[in-house]
Structure 1
Amino acid sequence: MAKPRVLIIDDAATVRAFHRHLLEGMDLEVDEAVNGVEGLEKALRQPFDLWLVDVNMPTMDGIRFLFMARQNDRIRDVPAIMITTESELRDKTQALENGANLFLVKPVDPDVFRSRVAVMLGRRAA
């Protein structure tokens, strides 16, 4: 059985590296994108089981990425976790209204991160 595939969409290399480390420790296959445009291109080219999406990015932010992805029949049902430094209620509401399934605030506790990813992938939390 193939490993679940996760796409990290974040413009910060350190955040991508941290999330990649945690995901690979869960035996998941990981790919990365530096903004919403690249993320959308990758999501349309190959299947993913989960997206981890930042809000604030150049070119296309995470909210716009989710809005666009949810309009496309091929990828609209991929679960997405919005992971951002934005912690206001309006930010969470906007993310959820545009297609995020979960909303986490950076920095994310590694145990919380792993448990939320596991739930979104239909796995038992470790």
Structure 2
Amino acid sequence: MTDNSENRPLALIIDDASTVRMYHRKLVEDQGWTVLEAENGMEALERFGDRPVHLMLVDVNMPIMDGYSFIAAARATPGLAHVPAVMISTESQLIDRDKAYAAGANHYLVKPALPPELSQLLTLLSPEVSA
């Protein structure tokens, strides 16, 4: 089997919980995407590299750099500034959503992200969907 990961869209999953990253990785890869993971916002900024990222799934509460700070920094980073960012958090109050959107998030999901919700987002955001 050949590795065609270079031809698939890339999702950046940022969460300090390895079990959550594994859960999201499975859902995203099942939709034909490649995944890059990071444990916090700072690691994500350091690891995204030169490869175009097509989607960022971002937790709120993380050490070193939280999700709000990461999204704000990503919006100021060439290569990430216009990438769709989905905040996924256990925080479910309206103020949490407002803070995410103020930081630059495009969408907000409450954990656990349900497979149909994430699948629909991935389908809508996939750069490889043909007419």
Cα distance between partner residues in 2 of 1:30 and 1:73: 20
- SS of aligned partner of 2:69: helix
Equivalent residue number for residue 37 of structure 1: 42
Cα distance between partner residues in 2 of 1:63 and 1:119: 24
Equivalent residue number for residue 110 of structure 1: 115
1:25 has 2:30 as partner? yes
Cα distance between partner residues in 2 of 1:99 and 1:117: 19
Equivalent residue number for residue 97 of structure 1: 102
1:33 alignment partner AA:
A
Q: TM-score of the superposition, structure 2-length normalised? A: 0.88
CA RMSD of aligned residues (A): 1.6
Instruction: Describe the shift of the 1:2–1:66 C-alpha distance in structure 2 as closer, same or farther (beyond 3 A).
Output: same
Equivalent residue number for residue 63 of structure 1: 68
Give the conservation status (yes or no) of the 8 Å contact 1:6–1:49: yes
Q: Which has the larger radius of gyration?
A: 2
Give the conservation status (yes or no) of the 8 Å contact 1:44–1:74: no
Equivalent residue number for residue 50 of structure 1: 55
Equivalent residue number for residue 17 of structure 2: 12
Give the conservation status (yes or no) of the 8 Å contact 2:31–2:122: no
Give the conservation status (yes or no) of the 8 Å contact 2:54–2:127: no
Instruction: Describe the shift of the 1:9–1:41 C-alpha distance in structure 2 as closer, same or farther (beyond 3 A).
Output: same
Identity rate, percent: 45
TM-fit CA distance, 1:122: 5.1
TM-fit CA distance, 1:32: 0.3
Give the conservation status (yes or no) of the 8 Å contact 1:44–1:75: no
1:96 alignment partner AA:
Y
Cα distance between partner residues in 2 of 1:46 and 1:77: 14
Instruction: Describe the shift of the 1:96–1:44 C-alpha distance in structure 2 as closer, same or farther (beyond 3 A).
Output: farther
